[in-house]
């Protein structure tokens, strides 16, 4: 379902909240994108974040190249051509519920799992001195460890490593430079999942 009549629909086979927002914001297509396009868009969006974070293009390319399958032919095909953003579900990066579980297998937001974010958060002071709920790196690590623990019996060892390329990178891109360090605003993460929207402070710089 589109977030509003103007935002494009996003395939339920795209389980990445960040890529879903990029599609919804009209920055990436819902289906097939070239690796160059994915890398350019992500690095450009990252630059609009607090402190103009610099994401290494090579690392993004490497993730995207393996996203639809890790057999050598598939990787070569992805690396040469494109990544299929509407076919990430069940690919090698899909942790099949071993992550936060905020998006179910149909990419619907599970409210209880979204609300659970706050259990790991604490009060943070923004740069302008306002207080809000937020998650810093150590709180994100705590959450990822708990997510991994919760998935005992249905997780792969690699899932815990994959998590390090998700929440901490989101912190790098969408984090706010608060008075006591960088944190993800719980409100902004909720908006990312629920409305598939990037923070206005970032979008306004893309125009």
Which one, of 206, 202, 50, 191, lies nearest residue 128 by Cα?
A: 50
Contacts of 151 (CB under 8 A, 6+ apart): 95, 97, 98, 159
Q: How many CA atoms lie within 13 A of 89 on its CB side?
A: 16
Q: Tell the smallest beta-carbon distance from residue 5 to ligand HEM (Å).
A: 26
Q: How far, in Å, CA of 170 to CA of 118, rounded?
A: 16
Whole-angstrom Cα Rg for the chain = 16
Shorter beta-carbon distance to ligand HEM: residue 109 or 125: 109
Residue 120 CB, shortest distance to ligand HEM, in Å, is 12
Nearest distance from C-beta of residue 72 to ligand HEM, angstroms: 18
Residues that bind ligand HEM (CB under 6 A): 15-19, 38, 42, 55, 60, 63-64, 67, 83, 88, 93-95, 99-100, 102, 166-167, 169-170, 173
Query: Least Å distance between CB 45 and ligand HEM?
Result: 8
């Amino acid at each position: 379902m589109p977030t509003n009549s103007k935002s494009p629909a996003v395939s339920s086979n795209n389980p990445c909240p960040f890529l879903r927002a990029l599609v919804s914001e009209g920055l990436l297509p819902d289906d097939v994108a070239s690796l160059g396009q994915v890398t350019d868009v992500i690095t450009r969006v990252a630059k609009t974040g607090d402190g103009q974070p610099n994401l290494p293009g090579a690392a993004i390319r490497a993730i995207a190249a393996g996203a639809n399958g890790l057999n050598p032919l598939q990787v070569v095909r992805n690396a040469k051509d494109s990544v299929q953003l509407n076919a990430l579900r069940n690919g090698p990066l899909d942790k099949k519920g071993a992550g936060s579980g905020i998006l179910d297998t149909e990419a619907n937001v599970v409210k209880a799992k979204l609300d659970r974010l706050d259990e790991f958060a604490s009060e943070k002071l923004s740069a302008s001195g306002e207080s809000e709920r937020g998650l810093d790196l150590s709180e994100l690590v705590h959450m990822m460890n708990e997510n991994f623990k919760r998935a005992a019996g249905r997780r792969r060892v690699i899932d815990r490593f994959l998590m390090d390329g998700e929440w901490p990178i989101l912190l790098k891109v969408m984090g706010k430079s608060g008075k006591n360090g960088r944190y993800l605003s719980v409100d902004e993460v909720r908006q990312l999942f629920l409305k598939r929207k990037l923070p206005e402070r970032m979008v306004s710089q893309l125009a």
